[in-house]
Structures are given as C-alpha cells and as structure tokens.
Amino acid sequence: MTDSAEKQTSRRTFVGKVVSDKMDKTVVIEVVRKVRHKLYKKYMKVTRKFHAHDETNTCAMGDVVRIAEHRPISKTKTWILEDVVERAK
C-alpha cells in the first residue's frame, strides 16, 4: 500500500423526510424502513428519527434528504446532511 492511497471508510447513509427544521443548523429526519418479522415473516414499517447537522439551513419541512454518519457534533447530532434528494412542493 502506498502513502497516497486513502483509507476507505464506509459511512452509513439513510434517505428520509425532514419533519422539523425549527432549530438552527439542525434538522430532524424521519427514516422509514421495511423490516421482516422473524416469526411471522411479514414486513413491518419501522420508523426512526435522527438529528442531522445542516450547516447552511437549506432544508425545509417535507424535503427528502440523504444523511451520512459523522463524528458526534453535539449530544444528539451524529449525522450530517449530504444532499437534498427532492424539494417539498
């Protein structure tokens, strides 16, 4: 391995909907996943909310965004906004 080769880091990324943009430089993202039940083999919706860092306050409620894992920024923020996938209408 050479010195110029960079270390590959795999960051988790999620796509979700902005449910709150009332804080400064912070948005709350709701991520919905479909998970298969172990016993009943049916698919369930699992919802989770993440606080993400939005440096320029570009997001609005209803936007679909992509967030990536990041070092802890504050007590609740360990995610950072990557890009806006779709703007709210």
Task: Tell me the DSSP string of 35-63.
Answer: EE-TTT--EEEEEEEEEEE-TT----TT-
All structural domains of the chain, each given as residue ranges with its CATH number in brackets, are 13-86 (2.40.50.140)
pTM tops 0.85, yes or no: no
With contact defined as beta carbons under 8 Å apart, do 44 and 37 qualify? yes
| Calpha distance 77→25 (Å, rounded) | 11
Q: In tens digits, what is the pLDDT along the chain, a chain of 89 residues?
A: 555 555 666 889 999 999 999 999 999 999 999 999 999 999 999 999 999 999 999 999 999 999 999 999 999 999 999 999 999 98
